[in-house]
């Protein structure tokens, strides 16, 4: 067996005919791979065939050796847009003197593991047809082909073919059937293909869910949006709530109805030229916006900006996406301006995906509904990402990305299911050298989100023909995903591994960067269950996917009121002030005396006041002391606004900090930092300057501790992970400082550094643990 990626055997150009059996694995089914192979073989004058089989594509190709080499080279270097080749192998066969090439029917065994393509934005060819008056699909909001359109959101079972999608009830018309059967057509075996004669249709409904008498529902909707109405629009993976993004009163009303006071909305803009009117845009951000993933990209807002302030109050960034379905393209062109496109839900609930669910849950929010009769089987939110330091930094990995696999730098000894954490839920299935990560499932505190989690775990196991023989979860016993894993493991009699939260963050960063060596892991986040009974979150770990040790951490302080302190950062400020032995008059003047007394009592009695080393909570405390935010309306708000403030000024020194020289693990004393910050507040120093000094201090702490750990361990690899590293200022400056000190620095680019990437790390740790168990047995 020859591996083309590892050692391509160059044949001598003798002119003699050869035949090769080629097997290609990865995302190679349902993405136009066989027609691509067909056209490539015909162009090169080669004989043979191509067919789907057992989760792969099988090719037999015959011709002169140089042409066969060229075929393999073009196949791997320039595959179809949606294809992702994970492995290509070939072996020689006896020539059969075949000169014609054909596409054969798939093997009956094609229900074996198949990698499913994510939902993909409308391709240029379909977009041209959408606005071509001579094309039979002109203006049709559901056109697609093998290069684009719905995939994950319409799949109901395996193998992936039309009867196992939500288009099963839409019988193809003669014209669509002819395209579907024609290997030369880009709609050859395009399972979601449709046209106005045989496909889904739009319907406009009023606020009570009654049909509106109109032959042009899109044009009617556009007129309603321009008039200041709020609409619920059924999209690819769920409903959006939409309104005119330039109308301040309308956007403010949407906030009031949705109970979303300050968390930013995303906007959809017709084309790139329009984006540049609202935001600054570099080439990397432009490529990301235009990519087939079509995520929401966080961009720097222009000043002044014609978008209503209520879209992202006080935020220097705007979440912007381009239209990614034909329906969106038609609607944005009809509206002429940007639209707010936010998840169709009440604040923090899962996005509505069923029609009855939308009519019930969005009643009182939406003035009207635009629905269609293509069911959504898999609820899937928009992905959110940004460019930091010239590279992508994902915040939410979902539509357009999932379930594209992540390559593992090691072998999974058996099928593994990693269930992730509680917030930003996502799970992963591992087998061989691939990790299949689910789409974003939301916070599993919500029963509907947990139900979706259970349903989608079952779906993924069917789709990828993987039945886990072991489970892995977070160490926290009260996470819904942890309880699910425990109950299932007991029910099915399979092993269960509980993994420490921050070890999983470290492993996630190692895996996606292809690292198997030990590293220093700087894992900064909000909260995670520690092995010592405290809440961790400001951790310096030394280890790999096999094992870790807690080498250093930030000083622990109390969280008065427990989770209430996360929603009220002033409580954390009180804890840090008490710990540092200082008072802050300006801060005290803002706090109700009776509440301060209560929190002081909690701290004094250590009642409902768990200890935490959390870096995220340190950022919250600093934000409160500076006067940025005493209470938050969404997760991370105080820390995010502190970053914005710090980003407006240049570096200007940092505050002192200390470390216990003889402690193990090394203890980072943040009390000098708090005292210095409070002194600046008392002196009337400008808030942006204090915020910048705080950030510089955290960078200095990281650089100093990593230097100490290098002296101890000899390690020069640093992995940055955890939700705090969504802070662009911190990430860029930490990376630069460490690289200047000679470290090799890695951060996450494929999966979020927050808990959305936790399942990948859990999977990696479990793979190594169960591999050791297999070796012992």
> What is the per-residue pLDDT for 463?
87
| pLDDT at 772 > cutoff 80 | no
Name the 3-class secondary structure at 32. Answer: coil
User: Which of 13-22, 73-82, 116-125, 746-755 tops mean pLDDT?
Assistant: 746-755
Task: Report, as an integer, the average pLDDT of 115-128.
Answer: 93
Nearest Cα to 757, choosing from 715, 709, 722, 729? 722
Contact 268/331 with Cβ under 8 angstroms? no
**pTM for this prediction:** 0.93
> What is the per-residue pLDDT for 415?
96
CA atoms within 13 A on the CB side of 41: 27
Measured distance CA(694)–CA(118) in Å, rounded: 41
> What is the per-residue pLDDT for 113?
59
> What is the per-residue pLDDT for 775?
63
Q: pLDDT digit string (tens) for 36-67?
A: 999 999 999 999 999 988 678 999 999 999 99
Residue 104 phi, psi dihedral angles, 5° rounding: -95, 160
Report the b/e string of 425-437 with b at 16+ CB within 10 A.
bbbbbbbbbbbbb
DSSP codes, 711-746 = HHH---EEEEESGGGG-HHHHHHHHHHHHHTT-EEE
> What is the per-residue pLDDT for 349?
83
Read off the DSSP letter of residue 363: B
Contact 16/49 with Cβ under 8 angstroms? no
Contact 567/631 with Cβ under 8 angstroms? yes
Q: pLDDT digit string (tens) for 614-656?
A: 999 999 999 999 999 999 999 999 999 999 999 999 999 999 9
> What is the per-residue pLDDT for 114?
65
> What is the per-residue pLDDT for 665?
94
Measured distance CA(70)–CA(67) in Å, rounded: 5
Percent of the chain scoring above 70 in pLDDT: 96
Read off the DSSP letter of residue 154: G
Task: Report, as an integer, the average pLDDT of 437-443.
Answer: 96
Q: pLDDT digit string (tens) for 560-578?
A: 999 999 999 999 999 999 9
Q: pLDDT digit string (tens) for 377-412?
A: 999 999 999 999 999 999 999 999 999 999 999 999
614 or 111, higher pLDDT? 614
With bands split at pLDDT 50, 70 and 90, how would you rate the model's confidence at 28?
Answer: confident
User: How long is the chain?
Assistant: 777
Angle at 579 between CA 577 and CA 581, to 5 degrees: 65
Q: pLDDT digit string (tens) for 511-529?
A: 999 999 999 999 999 999 9
Measured distance CA(543)–CA(514) in Å, rounded: 15
The encoded tokens of residue 238 equal 């769920």
Task: Report, as an integer, the average pLDDT of 243-258.
Answer: 98
Measured distance CA(591)–CA(10) in Å, rounded: 75
| pLDDT at 15 > cutoff 80 | no
Measured distance CA(757)–CA(581) in Å, rounded: 38
Listed in sequence order, the DSSP H helices in 542-592 are: 564-567, 569-580, 585-590
Name the β-bridge partners of 554.
668
Q: Between β-strands 231-234 and 406-418, what pairing exists: parallel, antiparallel or unpaired?
A: unpaired
| pLDDT at 109 > cutoff 60 | no
Name the 3-class secondary structure at 316. Answer: coil
Task: Report, as an integer, the average pLDDT of 476-480.
Answer: 96
With bands split at pLDDT 50, 70 and 90, how would you rate the model's confidence at 777?
Answer: low
With bands split at pLDDT 50, 70 and 90, how would you rate the model's confidence at 729?
Answer: very high
Task: Report, as an integer, the average pLDDT of 78-104.
Answer: 91
> What is the per-residue pLDDT for 6?
39
> What is the per-residue pLDDT for 12?
39
Task: Report, as an integer, the average pLDDT of 247-268.
Answer: 97
Looking at every residue in the chain, the average pLDDT score rounds to 94
The encoded tokens of residue 694 equal 């705080």
With bands split at pLDDT 50, 70 and 90, how would you rate the model's confidence at 663?
Answer: confident
Residue 219 phi, psi dihedral angles, 5° rounding: -65, -40
Q: Which residues contact 67 (CB under 8 A, 6 or more apart)?
A: 44, 45, 46
């Amino acid at each position: 067996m020859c591996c083309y990626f590892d050692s391509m055997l160059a044949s001598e150009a003798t002119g003699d005919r050869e035949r090769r059996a080629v097997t290609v694995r990865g995302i190679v089914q349902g993405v136009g791979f066989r027609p691509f192979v067909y056209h490539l073989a015909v162009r090169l004058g080669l004989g043979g065939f191509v067919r789907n089989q057992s989760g792969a594509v099988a090719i037999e190709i015959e011709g002169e050796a140089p042409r066969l080499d060229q075929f393999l080279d073009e196949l791997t270097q320039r595959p179809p847009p949606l294809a992702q080749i994970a492995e290509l192998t070939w072996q020689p066969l006896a020539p059969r003197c075949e000169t014609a090439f054909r596409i054969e029917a798939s093997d009956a065994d094609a229900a074996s593991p198949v990698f499913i393509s994510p939902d993909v934005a409308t391709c240029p060819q379909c977009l041209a047809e959408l606005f071509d008056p001579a094309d039979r699909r002109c203006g049709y909001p559901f056109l697609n082909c093998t290069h684009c359109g719905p995939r994950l959101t319409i799949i109901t079972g395996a193998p992936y073919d039309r009867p196992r999608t939500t288009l099963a009830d839409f019988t193809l018309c003669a014209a669509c059937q002819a395209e579907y059967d024609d290997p030369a057509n880009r709609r050859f075996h395009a399972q979601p293909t449709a046209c106005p004669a045989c496909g889904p249709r739009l319907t406009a409904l009023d606020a009570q869910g009654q049909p509106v008498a109109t032959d042009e529902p899109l044009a009617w909707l556009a007129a309603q949006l321009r008039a200041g109405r709020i609409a619920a629009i059924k999209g690819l993976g769920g409903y959006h709530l939409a309104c005119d993004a330039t109308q301040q009163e309308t956007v403010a009303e949407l906030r009031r109805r949705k109970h979303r006071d300050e968390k930013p909305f995303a906007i959809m803009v017709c084309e790139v030229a329009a984006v540049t009117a609202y935001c600054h845009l570099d080439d990397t951000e432009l490529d990301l916006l235009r990519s087939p993933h079509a995520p929401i990209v966080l961009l720097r807002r222009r000043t002044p900006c014609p978008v209503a302030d209520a879209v992202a109050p006080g935020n220097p960034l705007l979440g912007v996406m381009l239209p990614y379905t034909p329906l969106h393209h038609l609607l944005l062109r009809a509206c002429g301006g940007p639209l707010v496109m936010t998840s169709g839900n009440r604040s923090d609930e899962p996005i509505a995906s069923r029609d009855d669910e939308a009519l019930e849950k969005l009643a009182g929010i939406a003035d009207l509904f635009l629905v269609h009769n293509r069911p959504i089987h898999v609820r899937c939110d928009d992905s959110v990402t940004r460019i930091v330091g010239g590279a992508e930094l994902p915040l939410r990995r979902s539509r357009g990305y999932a379930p594209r696999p992540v390559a593992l730098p090691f072998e999974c000894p058996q099928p593994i299911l990693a269930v992730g954490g509680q917030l930003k839920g996502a799970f992963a299935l591992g087998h061989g050298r691939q990790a299949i990560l689910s789409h974003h499932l939301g916070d599993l505190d919500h029963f509907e989100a947990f139900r979706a989690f259970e349903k989608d775990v079952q779906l993924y196991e069917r789709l990828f023909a993987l039945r886990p023989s072991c489970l892995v979860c977070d160490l926290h016993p009260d996470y819904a995903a942890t309880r699910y894993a425990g109950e299932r493991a007991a029910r099915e009699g399979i092993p269960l591994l509980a993994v420490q939260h921050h070890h999983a963050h470290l492993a996630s960063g190692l895996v996606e960067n292809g690292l198997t060596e030990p590293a220093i892991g700087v894992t900064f986040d909000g909260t995670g269950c520690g092995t010592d009974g405290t809440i961790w979150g400001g951790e310096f770990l030394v280890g790999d996917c096999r094992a870790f040790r807690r080498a250093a951490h930030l000083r622990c302080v109390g969280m008065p009121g427990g989770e209430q302190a996360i929603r009220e950062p002033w409580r954390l400020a009180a804890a840090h002030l008490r710990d540092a032995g200082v008072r802050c008059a300006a801060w005290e003047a803002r706090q109700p005396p009776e509440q301060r007394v209560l929190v002081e009592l909690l701290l004094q009695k250590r009642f409902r006041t768990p200890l935490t080393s959390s870096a995220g909570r340190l950022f919250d405390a600093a934000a409160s002391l500076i006067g940025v935010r005493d209470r938050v309306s969404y997760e991370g708000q105080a820390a995010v606004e502190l970053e914005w403030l710090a980003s407006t000024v240049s570096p200007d020194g940092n505050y002192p900090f200390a470390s216990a020289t003889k402690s193990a693990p090394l203890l980072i004393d943040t009390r000098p930092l708090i005292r210095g910050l409070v002194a600046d507040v008392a002196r009337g120093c400008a808030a942006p300057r204090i915020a910048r000094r705080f950030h510089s201090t955290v960078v200095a702490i990281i650089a100093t501790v990593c230097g100490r750990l290098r002296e101890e361990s000899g390690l020069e690899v640093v992995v940055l992970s955890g939700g705090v590293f969504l802070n662009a200022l911190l990430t860029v400056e930490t990376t630069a400082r460490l690289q200047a000190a000679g470290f090799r620095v890695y951060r996450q680019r494929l999966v979020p550094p927050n808990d959305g990437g936790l399942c990948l790390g859990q999977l990696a740790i479990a793979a190594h643990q169960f591999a050791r168990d297999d070796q012992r047995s």
